[in-house]
Structure formats: C-alpha cells, structure tokens
Structure 1
Amino acid sequence: MKLATRVAVSVTVVVPVLVLAAGLLLLGLVQRDLRQQQDARLQERGPAVLPDVRALLNADRNDRPKAEQNQQRKVLGGVMDAGIRVRNAQGSVVLEGGPQPADAVQLPERTPDGPVTVRAKGHAWRVLSVQVAGPAPGTLWLFAPASATDPQLAAVRRRVLLVAVLAAPVSGLVAYGLAGRATASVRRLSRRAAALDPAAGAAAFATAPVGVAEVDELSAAIAALLARYDEQAARTAQALDTARSFSSAASHELRTPLMSMRTDLDVLAAHPDLPSDDRAEVVRDLQGDHARLLELLTALRMLALGDLVDVSSFGSVDLCELVDSAVGEAARRHPGARLTADLPVELRVFGWEAGLRILLANLLANAVVHGHLPPEPPRITVRLRAEGGSAVLTVDDTGPGVPPGEREEVFQRFHHRPGSPGSGLGLTLVAQQVALHGGTVTVEDAPGDDPGVDPGGTGRTGHTGARFSVRLPLPVPDSPAAWVPARRAWLSFSSGG
C-alpha cells in the first residue's frame, strides 16, 4: 500500500471519530445551555406572576370566588407554557395548570439555588419553588418538562452524524491528494536511487535540496551511505591489491632461501654418514636461511599493515616514551652496542603508535647492524627535539656512512649492501611509516671531527658515520590532523621516491 493511500485511509477513519467525539462534547454543551435557558425562564416567570398569586391566595382566604377566578386567569396567562401549582397555607391546591407531575409526587418546598429536577414514572421535570408571604401565605411551583429540549438535541445529533458521514470520504480524498503531493519528492528520490549505477558511486547521487526536511535528510543519508560504500569498496580493493602484492613479493623473495634449504636438506638425506663438521655447517646454513625467512615474512607483514592502516588508528602519541622504549629494547637485543639517548621530557605527535614503533625499531636495528666498523662495537646516538613545528629525530652512528649516490636507494625495497645480513626491507619500513605520518626521512654524514682526526680514540681516521634524520609534523592545538595516511603500494613499488 502506498504511503498516500495509508494516509488517506487513516484520515478517513480518524476524522469521523474526531467529529463524533467533538459532537458528543457539543451535545453536552448544548444540553447544558438549553437547560440553563429553561431555568432562566422559570426564574423570570416566578417573580412576574408572584403578585397575581398573592392576590389569588387573598381571594381564596377571603372566600371571593369571582375574584379568585379572575386571578387564576391572570396567573395562567402569566406563566404561558409552563406548568403551575399553587397551594395555600392549609395545604389545599388553589391553582393547577399546564404540564406537571402527578399530585402524588413529592415536590420540594424550597429551591434556593434555582430549579431542580424531579423524576416520576420515567419523566423528568425542572421545578422552581417560590414561597408566597403575606396575609395569605402559600407556595408556588413552576414546572417545565426536561424533555422539552429533546427536539433541539435531536437536531444537533442528526447534524453531527451527517457531518461525520460526509467527513469520511471528503477528508480521505483531500488527504490522498495532499499526501500524494507531499510524497512526490520521495517518489522522485526513490526513482533516482533505483536507477543509480552502483559503479558511479556517491558522486552520481548528488542532488539539490528540495526544501522538505525529511526528504533532504533521507537524500543526505543515502549519499552518506554511498560514500561509506565507496570508501569500503576502495579499502577492499586496496586490501586485495596488498594481498596480491604480498603474495608476489613473498613468492619471489622466498624462492632463493627455500631452494638453498632444499639443497641442504637433500645433502643431509643423501649423505647420512656426512662428517660431523660438514653436517654442523649444513645445519648452520639451514638455521641462517630459516632466520632469514622469518625476518623476511615479518617485514612483509609489517609493510602490508602499513598499506592498510586507516586514519582512525591515529591518535596523540608521546614520541619521547616510544623512543626511550625502542632504545632500551635495542640495547637488550644487542648487548655489545653502546646506545645513548638525548630526549626532552615529552613531545607528542599525531600518529599510529604501532607504526611509530616499527619505524624506531628498524631505524635503530639498521644503525646497530650497519653503523660500525669491525672490530669496533656500534656506538649509536639518538636525539629528539622540537624544531619549527616538527619533531626531529636523529640517529647517528660511527659506521662507514652512506655514499651520496646511494642515499635514495637505501629506502628501496630489498636494497642490500654487499654482505648485509638483513632482508632489505628495514629502511623501506622506515620510509613507509614516515610517509604515512606526513613526514620526511633523509640520510647525511654524521657530524664529527674533520677527516683525518680520530674522533673517539679508535685509531681510525677519515670517517664521520651516517645520520638518519626523521621529521614528523607536530599537531596544531585544537585542530584536526593536517594529513591523511599516504596510500602507496609499498609491497609492489620497485623504485625510490
């Protein structure tokens, strides 16, 4: 059933009921008004005929029949259509005329508050009692049938029923027309939604306001729903692309260590009597390949997480606390390394805490592994400060440094320095997280003494090490984040930048 039809049916049922309810109220008010008018007439006629009644009682007391008859005619003419009964002090009825209850019905002696109702044998009467004072006292009663107002009430009742009967179809038709016109914009919106191409998305549903609040709210809700659908579809597509890239990168990079492990296993299977030294060497190779596999898979998983992160995962993070924790963890993992940290009390950024931990862990791991010359232990200095609206993190080492021509390549996927034990994804993870946080990362020579000077008493000259500098924007007070996580397929890109 259409909405307009529902409205019309509802109005067709409700309006007659409301008319009848109003009619019942109207009947009660009319009945009260008619009774008040009836009582007012009785109260007006009582004082009007009272002098003639007093004269009638005097004629009756003095036994003057002719005068009594004349006064009776005057009294009856004065009360007009009302009933009247006059009784003298001895209890005898002197005058009786017009509609009134039977003589056996007990009448009130006094009605100080106005006429009262007397019922007898299914009939009701409004009765006004007036005490007559003077030499010939008595009692005057005036009567009016309560049913005298029934014809007028019946006429009002018939009109109420007629209005209720006519109101049903008329109100239904009017309501159907108005509801149809009111829902026209909803029908247009429904047709637009039904004809919408799912591939077009929320942009194809843009519509100008029609001026009807409910319709505009519904249109805005549909547009918001389509926008959320587009966002979810984009995220799903990105997740599928990330999964495909993960699978492709994993299959490509895992082929070499898996083939090496297969060769070592074949050697062990083919030569059960292999000398213990050779067998130990094969086992060490297997263990090394296994560790490389685990490191590679862990790095790929972290890259995938970075590709899929959403801005809802970002929040206020104390970078000082994360750096201090990362330095402590690196010192625990590499007992021979010498790590020092220069940190402020607090420095908060708008970031993804898990991603910042990945950034710091890989940046420090790279410095520990590559930032020294054998046989020297790694000496790493970490500094954090606020500078020009940015949080600046520097990691200095005393290693061989990075040649200027290679400083962009070190962030590329699977970039390896000759003899490097890593997966080639550590600095790629650093670059990914820096981009996600709207920052920059650069490599330069670590500040130190001039070449040819031994900076630390190591007996080595002509070297200053490398410095990795990370800049992350500081949040502006009372403002939302100024960036959205960068969308870039870090699992599949093959060149720097």
Structure 2
Amino acid sequence: MRLSTRIGLAVGATVPLLVLASGWLLLMPLIARDLHREEDNHLRQRATAVLPDARALLRAAAAGRPKAADSRERQLYSGALDVGVRVVGPDETFRGGPQPGAAVALPAQATAPVTVRHAGHSWRTLSMPIEGAKVPGTLWVFQPDTADRTQLRLVRRRVVMTALLAAPLSGLLAWGIATGATGPLRRLGRRTAGLDPRASTARLRHDPTGVTEVDDLAATLQTVLARYDEQAARTAEALETARSFSAAASHELRTPLMSMGTNLDILADHPELPEPDRTEVLTDLRREHTRLLGLLVMLRELGRGDLVGAEAFRTVDVAEAADAAVAEARRRDPDARITLRAEQGLTVHGWEPGLRLLIDNLIANALAHGRDTEGRASVAVGVRGTGTEVLITVDDRGPGVPPEARGLIFERFRRGPDSIGSGLGLTLVAQQAALHRGSVTVADGPDGVGARFEVRLPRAGGGLPDRRDWLIGTAGTKRSQTSHKDGS
C-alpha cells in the first residue's frame, strides 16, 4: 500500500473518532450545562414575575372572596406563560400548567433549581416563599427538562453526521496532500530504481527538494553508494595485490628454490661427498633458506602497506618509534654502535606499524651495507623538527652510494652482487614514506663519509595516496622522488 493511501486511510479513520470524542466528552457536557442555565434563568424570571399574583391569590382565598380568588388565579396562570405554577397555602393548593402529579414528592425547599423525575419524565423546579401575606405559603414553578432530551438528541445527531461526513472528506484531503508531499520521494525512488553499482558507474544525482526527509534519504543513498564504490575499489585493489604477490613470489622464489633443489640433489646423489664440499652445499642451502624467509616477510609487509586504510592512521610519536627501533637493533646486533638523538614531542598523523617498519629497515640497511673497511658498524639515528615536517636521518660509515645508483636501488628486488637480502627492504621505506605523504632521499654522510638517508614526513599528515601499487609497479621511486642504497 502506498504511503499516501496509508495516510489517507489513517486520517479518514482518526478524524471521525476525534469528532465523536470531542462531541461526547467536551461538547455534550457544555451544551447540557448551557441549556440548564437558560432554563434555570427562565424559571427565576417567571417565579419573580408571578410571585405578587401568588401572594394576592393567598390573600383573597384567606379572606373568603371566591370571585377575587378566581380572578387572581387566572392572572397567576396567565403570567406564568409556559411554566407550571403551584401555590401551596395552609389549607389549599392551586395548580396550573405543566408539572408533576400531586403524588410526586417535592423537596422540602428548592431555593435553587433542581430536577424532579417521575415515570420517565423530568422537570426543573424552583420554590420561593410567599411573604407579606396574612397567610404564608410557597410558590413552586416547573418547566419540563428538555436539555437532556430534544436539544441534546439534536446535537448528538449533528455530531454523528459531522463524523460521518468527516471520514471521507478528511481521508480524501489527506490523501491529496500526502500524494503531493510524497512526490519528491517517488521521483527519488524512480531515479534510484535503475541504479546498479555492479554493472554501471552511473550514480545518484539529487537536487535539493526542500523536503528534509527526502533530502536526507538522498544524501544517505549517495553515502551508501560512495561507500560501495570505496569498498569495491578496495576489493579490486586487494585482488590485484594478491595477484601481484603471487606473481612476484613465484618469480622471485623460483631461483632460490631451484638452487636449493640442485643442492639437495647433490647431497642425495653423492653421499660420499667430501666434508668441505658438503659444508659448502649446506651453507648455500642455509643462505637460500634465509633469503626465502626474508623475501616472504618483505612481500607480506609490502602487501600490508598497499592495503592499509585511513582508519588505521592516528597520532604517532616519532621519537618513541625511533627509540623502540634502535633498542630492537641493539638487541639483534650487540656489537654494532647505534646511537639516537631525538627531539621529544614530535608527532605525525600516520600508521604506527608502517613508521616503525620504515625506521627498522633503514637501520637494517645501514648495518648490512654501512660498515667501515674494518667491518665495524656505526649507525647514528636522528629525529628532529624542521618547520612543518619531521626529519628522520640514518647515517652510516660505509662506502656510501654512488650518485649514478641513487635513482635505482629503491626499486623492488634490487640487490647488490653480494647481497643475500630480498631486495625489498628499501622499497618498504619508499612505500611508507609515500604512504605518509613524505619523501626519502640519500646523500653522502657527514664529513663525506658513508651515506645519509633522510625521511621527511609532514606533521599535518593528509589523505592516502591515489596509487599504492608497490607490489605491482616498479616506478615507486620516481613517484616519491626517492633515492636508495641496495635493498637489504
């Protein structure tokens, strides 16, 4: 059932009930009270008007003048008009006009109008004492009580007729108003009925109608469709990342797995292999195994960075993240000299695991490739504020990075000739710098010795990059203007 029809039926049923309730609960007592008030005023006026005739009647009757009494009695009834009159004297009672029978008991006195009922009839009655005559008496005036009969029955009939007429009229009026009011809602329904976000890129375009509920519903629908598009894009991105992960893993794992297979075949086919050769084969196996584990970990981290959502971002203290990374590096390589100089209170709006991964890989890269000629590792980590940015520096005392190589080594799977790493360590650094709307560069180290990596992160943060295809593409360094050492 349409909304306008529902409203019309509801109003058509409610309005008559309200009319009846108003008539019975409010109008009926008010009308009855007004009618009684008019009757009582009329009784008082008639009683006051005929009181002198009643006094003269009792005086004539007491004096034994029948003709005078008859004359006064006719004057009394004539002056009473439409009310009944009863004059009660010590020895005689005079009656005239509509009134209850003599057998009906009257109240001892009725100085205010009261109702007397008998045999299905009711009268409003009022009594006045007759004073000033030689013989005392009482004047009673009566009027049929029609307030709860004729007039009230008429009012009831009119209330019922009004309710019966109000039902269809109010229902039709409400249906017409509701039909006009729900017009914008019907138009919105027609526009949204043809939308299929799975098969078309067309989306709801809504012009304000001035109807708050319709405009709010349209805004909600637009929000729902936008969220659908966002989730669909995220799903597509996740699927593409999964495909890229599979392709990259199969491509990069093929060589170490083939090498491990060859070494295993040598061990299986030559059980008499001399001990030095066997040791060399086992060493190769361990190296390839370590490389496989590192590659899988790095691919997983790249996938997480590609799919992280904006809801994961929060305020991160960069100094605390650097302190935790340095402590972990010292634990893993106790012989290395790793120092930290960090200004406190420097925060960015970012993804805490990603920032920690960035610093961890910069330190790991420095430990792997930044050792001096004697094999000693000396790494200096710094965190300081520069205007609207937070600057993270990692210095080493190694051979440095040639200028011609600084534009290449942040690409994925870039490894030096002697590197046993995955070739993804510094790619993760570039990914996280881009994810946080920052940049990473590499230059000569302090005093021209070693290398210095600098990561600049905006304190204000910002939205996520439009493209985060670090597993898919190979041009990440160009997009983030980065330059790197050989990946660890």
Short-chain TM bin: over 0.9
Contact 1:411 1:427 in 2 (8 A): yes
**Does residue 218 of structure 1 match 2:198?**
no
Contact 1:59 1:68 in 2 (8 A): yes
Per-residue CA deviation, residues 411-464 of structure 1 (Å, 9 max, x unaligned), is 11011112012111000000000001111100000121xxxxxxxxxxxxxx60
Contact 2:35 2:147 in 1 (8 A): no
Which position in structure 2 is the counterpart of 1:453? none
Contact 2:325 2:356 in 1 (8 A): yes
Aligned-residue offset at 1:105: 2.5
Q: Distance in 2 between matches of 1:220 and 1:467?
A: 51
**Does residue 287 of structure 1 match 2:286?**
yes
Aligned-residue offset at 1:121: 2.6
Q: Distance in 1 between matches of 2:203 and 2:369?
A: 54
Aligned-residue offset at 1:374: 4.4
Which position in structure 1 is the counterpart of 2:482? none
Which position in structure 2 is the counterpart of 1:185? 184
Contact 1:202 1:226 in 2 (8 A): no
Which position in structure 2 is the counterpart of 1:478? none
Which position in structure 2 is the counterpart of 1:17? 17
Which residues in structure 2 correspond to 1:115-264 (within 5 Å)? 115-134=113-132, 135-147=134-146, 150-198=149-197, 204-264=203-263
Aligned-residue offset at 1:276: 4.5
**Does residue 46 of structure 1 match 2:47?**
yes
Alignment coverage as a number of residue pairs = 475
Q: Give the 3 Å change call, closer, same or farther, for CA 118–275 of structure 1 in structure 2.
A: farther
Which position in structure 1 is the counterpart of 2:451? 466
Contact 1:314 1:350 in 2 (8 A): yes
Q: Distance in 2 between matches of 1:339 and 1:45?
A: 121
Which position in structure 2 is the counterpart of 1:459? none
Q: Distance in 2 between matches of 1:229 and 1:349?
A: 30
Corresponding letter in the other structure for 1:42: L
Equivalent position SS for 1:129: strand
Corresponding letter in the other structure for 2:77: L
Q: Distance in 1 between matches of 2:378 and 2:147?
A: 118
Residue of structure 2 aligned with 1:488, choices 468, 478, 481: 468
Q: Give the 3 Å change call, closer, same or farther, for CA 273–423 of structure 1 in structure 2.
A: same
Aligned-residue offset at 1:494: 2.0
253-262 or 199-208: bigger deviation? 199-208
Which position in structure 2 is the counterpart of 1:418? 417
Aligned-residue offset at 1:185: 1.5
Corresponding letter in the other structure for 1:132: I
Equivalent position SS for 2:234: helix
Per the normalisation by structure 2, the TM-score is 0.93
Q: Give the 3 Å change call, closer, same or farther, for CA 61–272 of structure 1 in structure 2.
A: farther
Aligned-residue offset at 1:277: 4.4
Which position in structure 2 is the counterpart of 1:35? 36
Q: Distance in 2 between matches of 1:255 and 1:484?
A: 34
Consecutive unaligned residues of structure 2, counting only runs of 5 or more, are 479-488
Which position in structure 1 is the counterpart of 2:299? 300
Equivalent position SS for 1:409: coil
Corresponding letter in the other structure for 1:321: E
Equivalent position SS for 1:204: coil
Per the normalisation by structure 1, the TM-score is 0.91
Per-residue CA deviation, residues 131-151 of structure 1 (Å, 9 max, x unaligned), is 222232111111122236522
Per-residue CA deviation, residues 467-492 of structure 1 (Å, 9 max, x unaligned), is 000111113xxxxx433345320002
Per-residue CA deviation, residues 267-319 of structure 1 (Å, 9 max, x unaligned), is 23333444454444333322222221111011011101111111111111111
Q: Distance in 1 between matches of 2:69 and 2:147?
A: 31
Equivalent position SS for 2:122: strand
Per-residue CA deviation, residues 332-382 of structure 1 (Å, 9 max, x unaligned), is 111111001111122111111011011111111001111113433110011
Corresponding letter in the other structure for 2:463: W
Consecutive unaligned residues of structure 1, counting only runs of 5 or more, are 449-462, 476-480
Corresponding letter in the other structure for 1:119: R
Corresponding letter in the other structure for 1:124: S
Equivalent position SS for 1:410: coil
Contact 1:118 1:124 in 2 (8 A): yes
Identity of aligned residues (%): 53
Equivalent position SS for 1:205: coil
Corresponding letter in the other structure for 2:124: R
**Does residue 8 of structure 1 match 2:8?**
yes
Corresponding letter in the other structure for 1:471: R
Q: Distance in 1 between matches of 2:428 and 2:92?
A: 123
Which position in structure 2 is the counterpart of 1:64? 65
Contact 2:343 2:383 in 1 (8 A): yes
